[in-house]
């Protein structure tokens, strides 16, 4: 069994992200209340949406990716690999799902380690050797071990509250009696855009750090950072050759993937992942430390 080292940097960032998001949304709710929006409507909508998100988030993620949970009889090799890695990482074995797409990738989802699902694509299994596949699976199990997938799911939900509430509250007459010529609606829309942008940037910053943490976790579990380096390079090399249509079908899940499926260039500030150069440099440093 691997002696797991707690990543205080990741834990601190998760706590800070949730604290800042909570502060932003409390201010947002206070603003809506000051504009005459019914508090009852706000609480009902948010409570319902949070309940659905918490209980069905993993199913929605799998459904959006058209992932199919497979039994050990259907995919014995990958089940055996995950079972061995879980024993090393002291984790309950997650369910395994397969996504039939040429895009080589993997992700983990679920509310907790006990309800986690690790999914891999057929494109990934076709392109990686056993050592590389183990490294990718260990990376996803590190997300489960760190519980950052839960935080990311909750944080991603919070970033949509402003948009959905502003979009639908008008149908409930939620803007109250203070509305004058639609001016308040414009102000609320502007504030909601600001709230969404702050949430978006906080989530992206957390997402980038969590990938570094999962890379370190994979290296600890497998004891061979070079395999993950090789896997990342293979996936990165293949991604530009994947048809744009296939990438666009899955790029909404980029924050969960081991490497983002992007159909165009994006700025680092808005990226869900650190640059490939930085990830490989960190893994190579770990490899040298282990060898010495």
Residue 153 pLDDT grade (very low, low, confident, very high; cuts 50, 70, 90): low
pLDDT of residue 72 exceeding 90, the answer is yes
Residue-level pLDDT at 44: 75
Q: Does 85 fall in a domain? A: yes
User: What does the pLDDT average to over 201-218?
Assistant: 85
- Tell whether the model's pLDDT for residue 217 goes beyond 70: yes
Q: How far apart are CA 160 and CA 180, in angstroms?
A: 27
Mean pLDDT of 253-257: 69
Residues of the chain above pLDDT 90, percent: 32
Both tokens assigned to 212: 């570094």
Q: Is pLDDT larger for residue 274 or for residue 143?
A: 143
Read off the pLDDT of each residue in 125-133 and give the average, rounded to a whole number. Answer: 95
Q: What angle do CA 111, 143, 225 make, to 5 degrees?
A: 165
CA 201-206-210 angle, 5° bins: 150
pLDDT at 141 over 80: yes
Q: Examine the residue annotation and report whether 291 is marked as an active-site residue of this protein.
A: no
Establish if 1 belongs to a structural domain.
Answer: no
Average pLDDT, the chain: 79
Q: Is 164 a domain residue?
A: yes
Q: Model-level pTM?
A: 0.76
With respect to residue 287, please indicate whether it lies within any of the assigned structural domains. yes
2 located within any domain: no
Instruction: State the maximum Cα–Cα separation within the chain, in Å, rounded to a whole number.
Output: 71
Count of structural domains, the chain: 1
Residue 254 is classified by DSSP as T
Range with the lowest mean pLDDT among 56-60, 132-136, 177-181, 267-271? 177-181
Count the alpha carbons within 13 Å of 257 in the hemisphere toward its beta carbon.
25
Specify if 271 maps to a domain: yes
Average of per-residue pLDDT across 244-272: 65
Return the axis-axis angle of helices 225-238 and 276-291, rounded to nearest 10°: 160
Structure token digits, residue 32:
């809506």
pLDDT of the residue at 177 = 47
Does residue 148 form part of some domain? yes
Please tell me which residue in 134, 140, 289, 291 is annotated as part of the active site: 140
Expressed as residue numbers, the domain containing 270 is 8-291
């Amino acid at each position: 069994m691997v002696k797991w080292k707690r990543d205080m940097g990741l834990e601190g960032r998760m706590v800070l992200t949730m604290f800042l998001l909570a502060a932003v949304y409390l201010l947002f709710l206070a603003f809506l209340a000051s504009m005459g929006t019914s508090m009852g409507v706000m609480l009902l909508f948010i409570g319902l949406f949070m309940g659905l998100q918490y209980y069905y988030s993993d199913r929605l993620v799998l459904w959006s990716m058209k992932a199919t949970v497979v039994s050990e009889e259907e995919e014995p090799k990958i089940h055996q690999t995950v079972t061995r890695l879980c024993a090393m990482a002291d984790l309950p074995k997650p369910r395994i799902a397969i996504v039939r797409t040429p895009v080589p990738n993997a992700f983990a989802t679920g509310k907790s380690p006990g309800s986690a699902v690790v999914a891999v694509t057929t494109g990934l299994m076709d392109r990686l050797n056993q050592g590389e596949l183990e490294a990718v699976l260990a990376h996803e199990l590190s997300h489960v071990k760190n519980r950052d997938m839960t935080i990311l799911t909750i944080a991603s939900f919070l970033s949509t509250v402003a948009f959905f509430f502003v979009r639908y509250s008008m149908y409930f007459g939620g803007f109250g009696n203070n509305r004058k010529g639609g001016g308040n609606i414009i102000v609320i829309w502007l504030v909601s855009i600001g709230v969404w942008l702050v949430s978006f940037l906080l989530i992206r910053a957390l997402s980038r750090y969590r990938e570094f943490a999962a890379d370190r976790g994979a290296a600890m579990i497998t004891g061979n950072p070079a395999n993950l380096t090789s896997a990342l390079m293979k996936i990165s090399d293949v991604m530009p050759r994947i048809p744009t249509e296939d990438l666009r079908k899955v790029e909404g899940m980029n924050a969960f993937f081991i490497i983002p499926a992007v159909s165009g260039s994006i700025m680092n500030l808005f990226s869900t992942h650190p640059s490939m150069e930085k990830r490989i440099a960190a893994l190579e440093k770990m490899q040298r430390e282990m060898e010495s």
